[in-house]
Amino acid sequence: MASVAPNVQEIRAIIARHKRRDFIFAICGIIALMIGVLTFAALFTDMAIRGIPRLDADFFTNFPSRKPERAGILSAWVGSTLVMFVTAAVAVPLGVAAGIYLEEYAPKNWMTDIIEINITNLAGVPSIVYGLLALGLFVYQFGLGQSILSAGLALALLILPVVIVATREAIRSIPQMIREGSYALGATKWQTVRDHIVPYSSPGILTGVIIGMARAIGETAPVITIGALTFIAFLPPSPVQSEPPFINFEWLFSPFSVMPIQMFNWTSRPEAEFQVNAAAAGFVLVLMTLAMNGLAIWLRYRLRKNIKW
């Protein structure tokens, strides 16, 4: 038993070594996280430093121009707004309806399986493929042209899986007893869905919709593929007019540009002045997507905290 004393010391050394490894790995983890954080911080501050001096009222009210100091993002942000409007008008009803069907109505059969597998697969399809779909189908087959409508539809199909998955998750978290209570009072399935399921899941659905829209607003590739213009010096016709019927839909078929495409155009020019414009447009874009994603994360956080069934 003479070797006990060195053994204890050896074991202590081993423990210390292993604890040190734990510590070293924790540091590695923090460093890895910091690489992500720092990249983002660098990206954000770089664009802020270069871009903010360009951000004045003129930048938002000028059309793109050959002269970098006179160029603005008017046609781009108007185009983005109108495209987003179409996207939301299509993706939200379709996505919510599909989510409701899959959670509340769908029987367990092969058809439902196909729909579900299909949605997971669509979520993995590269965004540019949606652009090709829209180019082949909407632009040429349906003859919608290289228009706001085509772009809005393409982006709507792109974010549909996001909206469907969010809707399903929100509905799934509603306990069964809510439905049973409603049926016990004689409500039909649709009445239950309309008066209970949809209202109670709406914050969750809203979260998904905001995340989807944030993705759609930053998407460049599908919109370029459709053939959005990079240089456009006019606005689509106004959706509201002074003569009856007051609303017109000509804007749906108008050529357009969007924010990310405007930024792409400026980024790919060799002149440094245009890259200042790109930084400014990028800064606006990042702020918008950050605000939308942040809002969604905050909503979800509040939801988790407040709702206890």
Partner 1 sequence: MTAVTRNGSESDVNSARPTAKRLAQRRTRIWREKAVESLLFLAALVSVFTTLGIVYVLVSESVVFFSHVSIIDFLTDTQWTPLFDDKHFGIMVLLSGTLTSSAVALCIAIPLGTIIAIYLSEFAPFKVREVAKPFLELLGGVPTIVYGYFALIVVTPLLQKIWPELPGFNLLSAGMVMGIMIIPYVSSISEDAMRAVPMSLREGSYAMGATRFQTAIKVVVPAAFSGLASAYILGISRAVGETMILAVAAGMQPNLTFNPAEPAATITAYIVQVALGDLPHGSIGYQTIFAAGLTLLLITLVFNILGHVMRRKFREVY
Half-sphere exposure of 136 (CA within 13 A, CB side): 5
Closer to partner 1 by CB, 46 or 250: give it: 46
| Phi, psi dihedrals of residue 247, rounded to the nearest 5° | -115, 135
Figure out which of the listed residues 13, 35, 177, 233 binds partner 1, where binding follows CB under 8 A: 35
102 touching partner 1, by CB under 8 A: yes
Q: Measure the CA–CA gap between 75 and 256, rounded to whole angstroms.
A: 7
Site for partner 1 in 228-247 (CB under 8 A): 230
Name the one range near partner 1 by CB under 8 A: 73-81, 209-217, 235-243, 248-256: 209-217
278 touching partner 1, by CB under 8 A: yes
- How far apart are CB 255 and partner 1 at their closest, in Å? 13
256 touching partner 1, by CB under 8 A: no
Figure out which of the listed residues 215, 253, 295, 299 binds partner 1, where binding follows CB under 8 A: 215
User: Where does residue 235 fall: left (phi above 0), alpha (psi -120 to 50 degrees), or beta otherwise?
Assistant: beta
Q: Measure the CA–CA gap between 75 and 233, rounded to whole angstroms.
A: 7
Q: What is the DSSP string of 163-212?
A: HHHHHHHHHHTS-HHHHHHHHHTT--HHHHIIIIIHHHHHHHHHHHHHHH
263 touching partner 1, by CB under 8 A: yes
Nearest to 222 by CA among 98, 139, 291: 139
Site for partner 1 in 289-308 (CB under 8 A): 289-290, 292-294, 297, 301
Alpha helices in the chain (DSSP H): 4-51, 57-61, 74-100, 110-123, 127-133, 148-172, 176-184, 189-192, 198-218, 221-226, 259-267, 272-306
Specify the DSSP element, H or E, that contains 228: none
- How far apart are CB 45 and partner 1 at their closest, in Å? 10
- How far apart are CB 91 and partner 1 at their closest, in Å? 10
Closer to partner 1 by CB, 43 or 237: give it: 43
Name the one range near partner 1 by CB under 8 A: 57-65, 236-244, 245-253, 256-264: 256-264
Residues 293, 212 contacting (CB under 8 angstroms): no
190 touching partner 1, by CB under 8 A: yes
Site for partner 1 in 108-137 (CB under 8 A): 114-115, 118-122, 124-133, 135-137
Q: Mask of contacts with partner 1, 138-157, x by CB under 8 A?
A: --x----------------x
